[in-house]
Every structure is written in structure tokens, then in C-alpha cells.
Structure 1
């Protein structure tokens, strides 16, 4: 996984604040939603980055390397991306 991509996600999601939280209840550096934590301590930077990296890597595999779709899924969820794709929205 490209470390620059992970750093860019962290900057966008939390501005490098390991205690960050969102109105949607996303937590930590990579703003991971509770249902995606899978036993991860969201406020432990190492655990958060490892779990967030697993999530974005999974999206990249699912969308066959399409970074735009993978990032959209990371941010809005795969369901939102699927709905957009079904409506013909690809950007």
C-alpha cells in the first residue's frame, strides 16, 4: 500500500488528530466507523492505521484498482458507490 495515499487519507479524514471523531461516529486518524473496527482500538494510531489500510486495500481490490471508486467507498460506503454506479454515475 502506498504510504502517501494513507497519509493523504489521514490528513483528509482527521488532519492527523488521533482523537478525532465525527458527527457520524467515525473515529481516530482514519475515521473508521464502529461497524468496521473489528476489535480495533480506534484511538490507538497503529491499530487505526492498520485497520484503515485494510479497508482501503479491500476497496481497491473490489474496484479493480480504481482509486476514485475506492476512495468514494471509503468515505461514503460501498452501498453509496453501488447506488451511484447503478444510476450511471461513475465520477
Structure 2
């Protein structure tokens, strides 16, 4: 089964990847926003890092192609000036 995970470098995402890579039948498209974020992903043949800006719907769609399931863990931080 192919699973797409946005926010794969978050605490929850990394725990999920750890669990999924223990399953022999899982392949993960780990979607993150930057090279720096991709560096924190586990090195596993089951994990394919995909660096995609979350505001680019076309790239996100392509990054999720072939996935049987999508786990959306990405959050967009909006800071306000006070």
C-alpha cells in the first residue's frame, strides 16, 4: 500500500513513518516543504521524500498520485504582528 504523508517531518509524522516502515507492505511518499525538513526523515527504502511547497496544488496532487491513503499532518503557521 502506498501512503502519502504531509508534514512527515513533524513529531507525529516521524512516529507514523517509524511505524509504517516496520510494515513490509507499506511505501510512503513523505511530503515536506524543504530540503532541511527532508534531512530529518528516516533513511529507508520504503520512504520517498518529496519536497513540495504546500501552496502548490498541482505539485501536491502529483506527490499524492498512486497513494491509497493520505495522512495530512501539515500545518501552516500564521504569525501575527502585535
The TM-score with structure 2 as length reference comes to: 0.28
- Structure with more contact order per residue of length (Cα contacts < 8 Å, sep ≥ 6): 2
More strand by share: 2
More helix, by proportion: 1
**TM-score if structure 1 supplies the norm length?**
0.26
